[in-house]
Structure 1
Amino acid sequence: MNGFTFSPALGWVAGGLLAGVLAVLAVAEIMQFARRRKAGASDETIAACVRRTLMMLVAAVMVLTPSVVAPTTSRAINATDVILAVDVTGSMAVTDARYGSGEAISRIDAARKAVHDVTKSYPDASFAAIRFGASGTLDVPLTPDAPAIDNWADTLTLESTSVSAGSSLDAPIDQLLITAKSIREAHPDDAIVLYLISDGEQTSDKTRRTFSSLRRYLDDGFTIGVGSTEGGKIPAIADGVNTGGSATGSDTADQWILDPDTGEPGVSKMDEKNLKDIADEISGTYVKLGDSQTLADAVSSKVSDQWRVTSTVKERTRTTPVVWPLAIVLALLLAWELGAWIVTSRRLL
């Protein structure tokens, strides 16, 4: 059901002040007319006073921008599609990452913060979310619902130690190809941007496949490095554990992945070379997160300037200004005032 409201185009502060000034002028016009008429010092007619008062009041209401609020499932979105691919291997639980401050946090927490900044940087874009460990999985198909992507990031769980078979950076390639290709076919004129967030560690014995096959579908891309080159000990991850808050990423502290060669806790180090190589393969940019580096400013220059209308399941409200009837009334009053002034001027000649 449609509703009526005021939604000042100048904002409630400026719009309210201006409307208040116009209302005061309307009252001042009436008071001045009454005072002068009583003193016999004015030839202003009652019709002229009413006309001028109405002009002030109509203008005051117009400044407040009367609007109609109606529910809608249509939404205009920017023709930019962002694919987010986040590493969820066990090494992402290492607490050696920093994101915009000197506080040490887990790599997966830094990745979560990075995802939030990406969705803020593309407020009207569409997003697809992929996690990868032993394989790549499309968790969220392309959607303009940015909060759904933020919720996905907040609930990401790391790959448990029991199923881990070593990190392989090419694990998401197949899913990335399928996702990027389907987006390109559905929206051939869209700008597609990839953000791949990982520590860059490759522990698998297999040779990493190249990401260059993605270039035909991407307009731009970023590889995001989380962690440090000094590295840290890798916590043992239990099945289904969300490592969002603990330092170790497991329910029991001081349980670490052991190096089979030394019997000591293994150390995971961020591999910048791998991430830089992948960035080159997709003709993209490498960004290392750190004390002063976040993704707030890492926005692609290839963002589309085109828009399209889509239907969404979620119902939202649309506010439509309805000023034109008042504009007609004000125009008629001004025409009346001009006509009266011309007639009076000709009489005085």
Structure 2
Amino acid sequence: MNILKSLTFEPALGWVAGGLLSGLLLLLAIALVIHGLRKGRDTDADRWALARRTAMVLILALMVLTPSTVSRTTNKAVNATDVFIAVDVTGSMAVKDAGYGAQDGISRLEAAKAAVRGLVDTYPDASFSALSFGASASVDLPLTPDVRAVDNWARGLATEPTSRSSGSSLDAPLDRLTLALKQTKDQHPNDRILLYLISDGEQTGRDERRSFSVLREGLDEAFILGTGSAKGGPVPLTSDVGGSGAGGWVTDPQTGQPGISAMDPDTLKAMADEMSGHYQALAKGVTVREGATASVSKRYRVTTVDQVRRHVTPLVWPLALVELVLILVEAGQWVRTSRRLL
């Protein structure tokens, strides 16, 4: 009874062509019946032959309509979240004018590290990829669900040595991010992709900053986290062996005095707007668990969704079997009639 309830017609040729062909076969069956009844005794075909041939045509008409059974299955689809984190490690990130949560007077990079640890807690079960950028950019951590690897990466972050610094270029990570986002989109088309870029917004490079709008297509959400203060502070010299405090400050070549680096919120907001994203300033009493991140993170969790799929199975073989039997009977009758006529 369940099979009968699930029976339907799904013409293999489509409803237009299949319906037209089936209609022509139905007209042929009616013509056979009318012809047989009109001829009566004037033909050698008895009523059994007429019924058999009519049944053959009607079965063909049904086969063209492709009787099928419909079944439904429920699949569980997992929607995963991939979080890309890009951290500015230029020399200005060593300035101690930043705050995060209960901390104050810490370096901008220390605030960035605390923000990374907060992001790991904010997105449980997500996968993370980490990138650092200064004079150049590098993907330090490919996409991984290992949160300990992300934490170890954050702990090991250090500002680039002053001797290698050639000015801050905020668009340094663009090429790396574009490639990484495209690869992720190709390999995991159903994943949600988020970007967090942490910087002080200082652009001191000679070239004009490129637009971040090229990343918009590959992202579901984008966040720019600003660290530092508008007042700013002197930039400490950084040694080649890592760490600040190598002795003295980075001097302004025009004045010969220690240069002052300040956070540029306008540039950071512009970067966020280019990606249709969100801007949030990190400061004392503020963490990534608040503001735009807090509301968005609830939507981008690993979720399981039930997807109902409809499966159509053609059920033509029983009709084909009956058709074959009728054809064999018709062929047998034809051979017997032919021998009798001889």
Interval of TM-score (by shorter of Structure 1 and Structure 2): 0.5 to 0.7
The 8 Å contact of residues 77 and 144 in structure 1, kept in 2 or not, is answered as no
User: 5 Å matches for 1:228-267?
Assistant: 228-241=229-242, 243=243, 249-252=244-247, 255-267=248-260
Distance 1:307 1:133 in 2: 39
Question: Unpaired runs of 5+ in structure 2?
Answer: 1-76, 306-342
Distance 1:78 1:256 in 2: 49
Distance 2:169 2:212 in 1: 13
Q: Tell me if 1:199 matches 2:195.
A: no
Distance 1:106 1:304 in 2: 31
**Which of 268, 271, 274 in structure 1 is aligned with 2:261?**
268
Equivalent in the alignment of 1:176: 177
Query: Partner letter of residue 225 of structure 1?
Result: G
Runs of 4+ in 1 over 6 A off after TM superposition: none
Distance 1:307 1:225 in 2: 34
Shift of 1:125: 0.2
Query: Partner letter of residue 277 of structure 2?
Result: G
Shift of 1:130: 0.2
Indicate the SS of the match to 1:98.
strand
Shift of 1:147: 1.1
Distance 2:176 2:251 in 1: 31
Q: Per the alignment, do residues 77 and 211 of structure 1 end up closer, same or farther by CA in structure 2, a change over 3 Å counting?
A: same
The 8 Å contact of residues 191 and 304 in structure 1, kept in 2 or not, is answered as no
Distance 2:284 2:89 in 1: 22
Instruction: Name whichever structure is richer in helix by fraction.
Output: 2
Shift of 1:250: 2.3
Distance 2:230 2:147 in 1: 32
Q: Per the alignment, do residues 187 and 97 of structure 1 end up closer, same or farther by CA in structure 2, a change over 3 Å counting?
A: same
Q: Per the alignment, do residues 130 and 102 of structure 1 end up closer, same or farther by CA in structure 2, a change over 3 Å counting?
A: closer
Shift of 1:305: 4.6
Once the two structures are superposed, residues 318-343 of structure 1 have per-residue CA deviations (whole angstroms, 9 ceiling, x without a partner) of xxxxxxxxxxxxxxxxxxxxxxxxxx
Shift of 1:285: 0.3
Equivalent in the alignment of 1:280: 273
Equivalent in the alignment of 2:313: none
User: 5 Å matches for 1:71-150?
Assistant: 79-101=80-102, 103-150=104-151
Q: Per the alignment, do residues 304 and 191 of structure 1 end up closer, same or farther by CA in structure 2, a change over 3 Å counting?
A: farther
Once the two structures are superposed, residues 18-75 of structure 1 have per-residue CA deviations (whole angstroms, 9 ceiling, x without a partner) of xxxxxxxxxxxxxxxxxxxxxxxxxxxxxxxxxxxxxxxxxxxxxxxxxxxxxxxxxx
The 8 Å contact of residues 157 and 240 in structure 1, kept in 2 or not, is answered as no
Distance 1:101 1:77 in 2: 37
Distance 1:269 1:219 in 2: 30
Equivalent in the alignment of 2:315: none
Distance 2:231 2:161 in 1: 23
- TM-score, L = length of structure 1: 0.62
Once the two structures are superposed, residues 169-188 of structure 1 have per-residue CA deviations (whole angstroms, 9 ceiling, x without a partner) of 00000001011111111110
The 8 Å contact of residues 100 and 291 in structure 1, kept in 2 or not, is answered as yes
Q: Per the alignment, do residues 77 and 92 of structure 1 end up closer, same or farther by CA in structure 2, a change over 3 Å counting?
A: farther
Distance 1:77 1:276 in 2: 33
**Which of 295, 303, 317 in structure 1 is aligned with 2:300?**
303
Distance 2:263 2:280 in 1: 13
Distance 1:279 1:103 in 2: 25
Distance 2:151 2:241 in 1: 19
Shift of 1:307: 5.2
The alignment covers a number of residue pairs equal to: 225
Indicate the SS of the match to 1:223.
strand
CA RMSD of aligned residues (A): 1.7
Q: Per the alignment, do residues 77 and 115 of structure 1 end up closer, same or farther by CA in structure 2, a change over 3 Å counting?
A: farther
Larger Rg, first or second structure (1 or 2):
2
Q: Per the alignment, do residues 189 and 103 of structure 1 end up closer, same or farther by CA in structure 2, a change over 3 Å counting?
A: same
Q: Tell me if 1:218 matches 2:216.
A: no
Equivalent in the alignment of 2:14: none
Once the two structures are superposed, residues 104-127 of structure 1 have per-residue CA deviations (whole angstroms, 9 ceiling, x without a partner) of 100000000000000000110000
Distance 1:102 1:238 in 2: 25
Shift of 1:78: 5.9
